[in-house]
Amino acid sequence: MLRCLELASSASGYTAPNPMVGAIVVCDGRIIGEGFHQRYGEPHAEANAINSVSDRELLKRSTLYVNLEPCMHQGKTPPCVNLIIESGIPRVVTGSEDPNPLMAGKGIAKLRTAGVHVTDNVLKEECERLNIRFMTFHRKKRPYIVLKWAQTADGFIDMERDKNIIGRPAWITGWYEQTLVHKWRAQEQAVMVGTNTAIADNPMLNIRRWHGRQPLRITLDRQMRLHPSLHLFDQSQPTLIFTEKPQADPKYATVKFDENLAQNILNELYNRKIISVFIEGGARLLQTFIDAGLWDEARIFTGACTFGTGVKAPVSFFFR
């Protein structure tokens, strides 16, 4: 199962909204086939593992290990449960149950009905942790939320801006930390900033110092203040903008900017099958999600520099 997890993690950032899954085929104590779900829309781990076995007769006395319950519904690829049964594999070991309502134990049940011996929940905690974004999406009906900001030693995330520094961020961290942020972006399906951050920093919100699939860029523009010259509008990658008044342009989504703003945003992202969001600022947007209790991780850099005055870092009793 540890090998399954190792294989599955190879596709980090490429499978969303699907989970990361790895599978191996073992016969007489030896791995004779392995595979993983490499990219959304492509064959699943079980199919890749089974199809990698050169001698198909060995499948009839083999065990398939997979870190997530095999699927039994028709999506972009055929049901893996059917392939397992047709291959004659007599035993399957799974790591965790698929929380997707289309599954939720149905795949395991079908295997058992077909006479396949199934051992489930092996290294369950580790398997669920690997796919915590997928698990959160289906169990809580919202994306997995990662908050990130950098703050000075005296507790500010930005200095007082004037017209001469608009479009240039006030860096608190260095090259290493900025590269790490690009790696983190590659692991999430979407990256979000608030209106003021989009205007003041003019961020690209892309992956330049790492490798991976470019995330969906998300921002807010309640009063349509964003200028079309901003990087967010450069069409280099998809952008989604939340606003209050309906717009004909499909890159805009209409939500209510009320006391439930955070939940309203997450409801729309859930409907769009966005399973994780990396929120990079600014302070007001971060605080909105903190106050609503709608977040899962917070990654905070504290630099050695001081601003003396400026925009205060978000606050919560969780971080004191």
Q: Rounded distance, CA 287 to CA 293, Å?
A: 10
Q: What is residue 79's predicted lDDT score, i.e. its pLDDT?
A: 87
Q: What is residue 28's predicted lDDT score, i.e. its pLDDT?
A: 94
pLDDT above 80 for 135: yes
Q: Average pLDDT of 112-120?
A: 95
Element (H, E) at 301: strand 297-302
Q: How far is CA 308 from CA 160, 170, 199, 205, 250, in A?
A: 10, 13, 23, 28, 42
Q: Average pLDDT of 282-300?
A: 95
Query: pLDDT-based confidence at 114, cuts 50/70/90?
Result: very high
Number of other residues whose CB lies within 10 A of the CB of residue 206: 17
Going by the DSSP 8-state scheme, the letter that residue 192 receives in this structure is: E
Q: Rounded distance, CA 272 to CA 142, Å?
A: 10
- What's the whole-number average pLDDT of the chain? 92
Give percent helix, percent strand, percent coil of the chain, each to the nearest 5.
30, 20, 50
Q: Average pLDDT of 153-174?
A: 73
Q: What percent of the chain has pLDDT over 90?
A: 78
Query: pLDDT-based confidence at 320, cuts 50/70/90?
Result: very low
- Give burial (CB, 10 Å; 0-12/13-18/19+) of 132: middle
Burial 222-249 (b: 16+ CB within 10 A, else e): eeeebeeebbbeeeebebbbbbeeeeee
Q: How far is CA 216 from CA 40, 67, 105, 278, in A?
A: 15, 27, 31, 10
Q: Rounded distance, CA 66 to CA 232, Å?
A: 39
Q: Which of 86, 97, 100, 101 is nearest to 119 (CA)?
A: 97
Q: Which of 117, 122, 97, 95 is nearest to 107 (CA)?
A: 97
pLDDT above 70 for 316: no
Residues with a catalytic annotation lie at 46
pLDDT digits (tens, 9 = 90+) for 52-75: 999 999 999 999 999 999 988 766
pLDDT digits (tens, 9 = 90+) for 234-267: 999 999 999 999 999 999 999 999 999 999 999 9
Sheet arrangement for strand 252-254? 252-254, 239-243, 216-220, 190-193, 276-279, 144-151, 297-302
Q: What is residue 163's predicted lDDT score, i.e. its pLDDT?
A: 54
Nearest 10 degrees: CA dihedral of 75, 77, 78, 80? -100
pLDDT above 60 for 315: yes
pLDDT digits (tens, 9 = 90+) for 194-238: 999 999 899 999 999 888 899 999 999 999 999 999 999 999 999
- The more confidently predicted of residues 47 and 315 is 47
Q: Average pLDDT of 283-294?
A: 95
Q: What is residue 167's predicted lDDT score, i.e. its pLDDT?
A: 56
Across-strand partners of 36?
22
Which range (4-8, 208-212, 237-241, 307-311) has the least confidence?
Answer: 307-311
Tokens read off for 212:
């991976």
Residue with tokens 């900025």: 178
Q: Rounded distance, CA 254 to CA 233, Å?
A: 18
Q: Rounded distance, CA 121 to CA 66, Å?
A: 11
Q: What is residue 5's predicted lDDT score, i.e. its pLDDT?
A: 98
